[in-house]
A and B are shown apart, each in its own frame.
Chain A
């Protein structure tokens, strides 16, 4: 490549948050050296990977002032990303737009999702956007939660979306994104909610505010998730309340921040088996990325 930067062909690792770690391991390289990403090997993208990839692109754009070009996008990936409003964020440069005939229709049948929506980092604007996202979710809830349908589940998700989105402008010092989708994975139906930012992260938030004793970055994440602690106020309820809702719904929650993560697999909880998994020493990726999923 003429400008000294390179083309990177990314592997097919956008299938779930755990395989996506393979892409995050290339983050530093993407941030400094990559100007084109070849997507030809990607066969599937789920919401957490999509939003995290978007954050990567945005960090590059902010750092270098130039957009990374996505090339060789398989048509179905291009269609999906367009449907999710991925390109509306204008973070990546994409050669060509889809022919009108190939654009996925936005009928009620394809309404099992909440398109990528940016959450501003100012309280007033952030609250207005959250209110719109909740209104959209209320409208599409019966489709998104078709396999879990029960008014209580919808109300639980309203609480979860509201709490996590507010954490973006309350704690991250950056804007973030929310997205949600129901999709099929093997024999299972999965509903996945993603709320992520590339702000100061959980560690940064507690460093700036009130301290808390912890053994490792992942331990701090677990404390933030399971105890009513806050980096800003005397105590916090949001994340802790979200965790208890996910437990009630027997879902899973993954919370990744900088170089650590905690996964709580309440669908596997029972007896003496372990359901909370801490990971330290992950490839660094700034901010806080959260995903909640239910399977049926």
Chain B
């Protein structure tokens, strides 16, 4: 499923190209949830930010963070596309603060390589980061494949993959994993 955020904002009579403040974030979240009514389990929700220049931390907190939490409850995946540089900086800052002050981390997949040279936004460690990169080339991989690629023992790989599953950056398909 794709949500064109720019169009959705215009439909909601929100001034674009900037999505700022909590009330706007809440409004956009409510509208997104209405659209998600028939999303299937394991489906990817692509949030297309084409045409949006700035998203501030309040909007990110009310819209993106809440959608990521909602996706964990309803078992679908969130992916971002066409994120501007400043929005990437702001999303990264919100995710880092969130992770520093909570027991859990938060991250999100993205369609294109970002200014951070990665296909995700969020506070991942080096091994996690490398594995996400690996999945861009190899759409599907087993524990053994990842162990061979990283040089890490299988039990360590299992722990890392559990974390990446929890962060909803990879999906499990029987014994293999696939990228989001």
Interface residues of chain A, those whose CB is within 8 Å of chain B, are: 123-124, 126-127, 130-131, 134-135, 138, 152, 155-156, 158-159, 162-163, 166, 228, 234-238, 240-241, 244
> Is A134 within 8 A of B20, CB to CB?
yes
9 contacting pairs across A/B (C-beta < 8 A)? A130-B21, A158-B86, A159-B54, A162-B56, A162-B58, A163-B58, A237-B93, A237-B94, A241-B57
Bound form: Cα–Cα A99–B58 in Å: 45
- Collect the chain B residues with CB atoms within 8 Å of residue A238's CB: 57-58
Per the bound structure, the CA–CA distance linking A244 and B94 in Å amounts to 13
Residues facing A in B33-66 (CB within 8 A) are 53-54, 56-58, 61
State whether the Cβ of B85 lies closer than 8 Å to any Cβ in chain A: yes
Using a CB-CB cutoff of 8 Å, which residues 115-138 of chain B contact chain A? none
Q: Are B97 and A228 in contact (CB under 8 A)?
A: yes
Contact of A244 among B24, B93, B101 (CB under 8 A): B93
Tell me whether chain B's interface is mostly helix, strand or loop, or mixed: helix
* Alpha-carbon gap, A248 to B90, bound state (A): 13
Q: How far is the CA of A152 from the CA of B22 in the complex (A)?
A: 23
Which one, A155, A156, A159, A234, contacts B102 given CB within 8 A? A234
Residue from B21, B94, B102 with most neighbouring chain A CB atoms (10 Å):
B21
- Nearest CB on B from A187, distance (A): 31
**Interface residue ranges, B against A (CB under 8 Å):** 15, 17-18, 20-24, 53-54, 56-58, 61, 84-86, 90, 93-94, 96-98, 100-102
Q: Of B24, B56, B61, which one neighbours A159 at CB under 8 angstroms?
A: B56
Contact A159 B90 (CB under 8 A): yes
Q: Which of A135, A159, A166, A234 contacts B101 (CB 8 A)?
A: A234
**Min C-beta distance of B90 to chain A, whole Å:** 6
Nearest A residue to B94, CB-CB? A237
Chain A residues whose CB sits within 8 angstroms of the CB of B56 once the complex forms:
158-159, 162-163, 166
Alpha-carbon gap, A234 to B21, bound state (A) = 18
CA distance A160 to B173 in the complex (A): 43
Q: A127 contacts which chain B residues (CB < 8 A)? A: 20-24
Which single member of B53, B85, B93, B101 contacts A158 (CB below 8 Å)? B53
Q: Check A159 against B86 for contact (C-beta < 8 Å).
A: yes
Tell me the minimal C-beta distance from B53 to chain A in angstroms. Answer: 6
Cβ of A155 and Cβ of B20 under 8 Å apart?
no
Beta-carbon contact of A130 and B101 below 8 Å? no
Report whether B54 and A162 are in contact in the complex, using a CB–CB cutoff of 8 Å.
yes
Once A135-B15, A162-B18, A162-B20 are accepted as A-B contacts, the answer to whether A156 and B97 lie under 8 Å apart by CB is no
| Complex interface: chain A residues within 8 A of B93 (CB) | 228, 237, 240-241, 244
Asked if A155 meets B101 with Cβ closer than 8 Å, knowing A124-B23, A127-B21, A127-B24, the reply is no
Other-chain contact of A155, B23, B84, B97 (Cβ < 8 Å):
B84
Contacting pair A162 B21 (CB below 8 A): yes
For the complex, what is the distance from the CA of A155 to the CA of B23, rounded to whole Å? 20
- Partner of A237 from the list B21, B24, B54, B57 (CB cut-off 8 Å) is B57
Closest to B97 in A: A228
Instruction: With A155-B85, A162-B18, A244-B93 given, name 5 new contacts (CB 8 A).
Output: A131-B15, A162-B20, A162-B21, A228-B101, A236-B97
B54 touching A166, Cβ below 8 Å: no
Closest CB in chain B relative to A125 CB, distance in Å: 10
**Choice from A131, A138, A163 contacting B57 with Cβ under 8 Å:** A163
Top 10 closest A-B pairs, CB basis?
A235-B101, A127-B21, A228-B97, A155-B86, A237-B57, A162-B20, A162-B56, A158-B54, A127-B23, A235-B97
Complex contact A138–B18 (CB within 8 A): yes
A126 to B20 alpha-carbon distance, docked (Å): 12
Contact check: which of A123, A124, A134, A235 meets B98 at CB < 8 Å? A235
CA distance A234 to B24 in the complex (A): 21
- Residues in B neighbouring A166, C-beta threshold 8 A: 21-22, 56, 58
CA distance A138 to B23 in the complex (A): 21
